[in-house]
Amino acid sequence: MSYSHKSVRDWLAVPEQQFRSWQSQLPNLVGRDGRRDRFNFGEVLALNIVAILVNDLGIRIGRIVSISEFLFGKCSGAPIEHWANMLCMVDLTTATCAIVDQAEIPPILSATIVVPMGPVVQDLFRRMTENGPEAQLSLDLLPPPDSD
């Protein structure tokens, strides 16, 4: 399934102007057209982590650029069940990111942000299906309006 830019922005509560800024800075978003390009669930999940880091924790988007490709790569393709016991560990000092099972947390050697993926995925899925799966399907499968 794929999702429109507008749907993703609404689910993540990210204003259009902020999203455009991300599109110009995050390598996985550069050159993507809001009218044609769509996002898969893994990309929505990666953007949700970006939104948490930027909007909830106050980290500038420029500090996240170096970890964004890793984040998008790791989030793509894994089924929803995969995330239940996973943690996203972000070390801004070394500009690194790791996705690990919570039972196998590596030694933490510097200030590290830990995001529990299970609750993040559950909350995201809830927001995505708030209006019922039928409403979401019908909205996302509609072709974009003509620009005439």
Other beta carbons within 10 angstroms of residue 54's beta carbon come to 18
Q: What's the mean pLDDT in 109-124? A: 92
pLDDT of 147 reads 40
Q: Answer yes or no: is pLDDT of 1 > 90.
A: no
Q: Give the tens place of pLDDT for each residue, 34-90.
A: 667 789 899 999 999 999 999 999 999 999 999 999 999 999 878 888 899 999 999
Q: How confident is the model at residue 33 (pLDDT cuts 50, 70, 90)?
A: low
Residues in Cβ contact with 92 at an 8 Å cutoff, skipping those fewer than 6 apart: 59, 63, 111, 113
pLDDT of 59 reads 94
| In the block, residue with structure tokens 């016991």 | 85
Euclidean distance between CA atoms 58 and 52, whole angstroms:
9
Question: What DSSP letter does each residue of 66-79 carry, written as one string?
Answer: HHHHHHHHHHSS--
pLDDT of 77 reads 77
pLDDT of 142 reads 33
pLDDT of 92 reads 87
Q: How confident is the model at residue 131 (pLDDT cuts 50, 70, 90)?
A: low
Which residues are paired to 52 by β-bridges?
none
Q: Answer yes or no: is pLDDT of 141 > 70.
A: no
pLDDT of 117 reads 94
Q: Which residue has the higher pLDDT, 147 or 59?
A: 59
Q: What's the mean pLDDT in 123-131? A: 86
Which pTM was predicted? 0.83
